[in-house]
Amino acid sequence: MFKENPNKTGKNAETIIGQSVKVEGDFVGDGDVVVEGVVIGNLKTQNHLTIGSEAKIQAEIAAGSAFVAGEIIGNVKIGDYLELTATGSIDGDISAGSISIERGAKINGKVSIGGEVTVKNGKKNSVKEVVDEASV
């Protein structure tokens, strides 16, 4: 299983991709998503995304918030908060409103952090607008 995150354990997840599941293609949802298996393609959700420690993701990702304990190869765009654990790794560019990186985590790419995740018409976009505009 993935490292325990007391606030985001997947109990309210709308979609769970288990350890034995491999998904290829575009996955788009509005609810909380938990990935414990393999995803190849694109992954987009308006709400929270949890990537378990055994998960292998090769995809462009857009989410409202995220907890990453597994491996991601691809760009990551998070409207609000990204938490990267010691077992997590991201090989791609990251854009997030705020970020927490635990000692031991691996990042290979450009990181953009701050309230100005995406600007349109001179104003900060909402989390929904950031995820909607992501080219996933």
Whole-structure pTM value: 0.78
> CA-based Rg of the chain, rounded to a whole angstrom?
13
How far is residue 90 CA from its own chain's centroid?
10
Residue with tokens 């007391």: 6
pLDDT in tens, 5-16: 434 445 577 788
Give the Å distances, CA to CA, from 68 to 9, 71, 86: 12, 8, 9
Q: Which residues contact 36 (CB under 8 A, 6 or more apart)?
A: 1, 2, 16, 17, 18, 19, 21, 52, 54, 55
Residue 3: per-residue pLDDT: 43
Q: Which helix (H) or strand (E) holds 51?
A: strand 38-51
pLDDT in tens, 65-120: 999 999 999 999 999 999 999 999 999 999 999 999 999 999 999 999 985 444 34
Residue 135: per-residue pLDDT: 56
Query: Which letter, b or e, does each residue of 8-22 get, where b requires 16 or more Cβ atoms within 10 Å of its Cβ?
Result: bebeebebebeeeee
Q: Is the pLDDT of residue 136 over 70?
A: no
pLDDT in tens, 28-50: 988 999 999 999 999 999 999 99
What are the DSSP calls for 16-45, one per residue? EE-TT-EEEEEEEESS-EEE-SEEEEEEEE
Residue 119: per-residue pLDDT: 35
Residue 12: per-residue pLDDT: 73
Residue 66: per-residue pLDDT: 97
Residue 107 β-bridge partners: 90
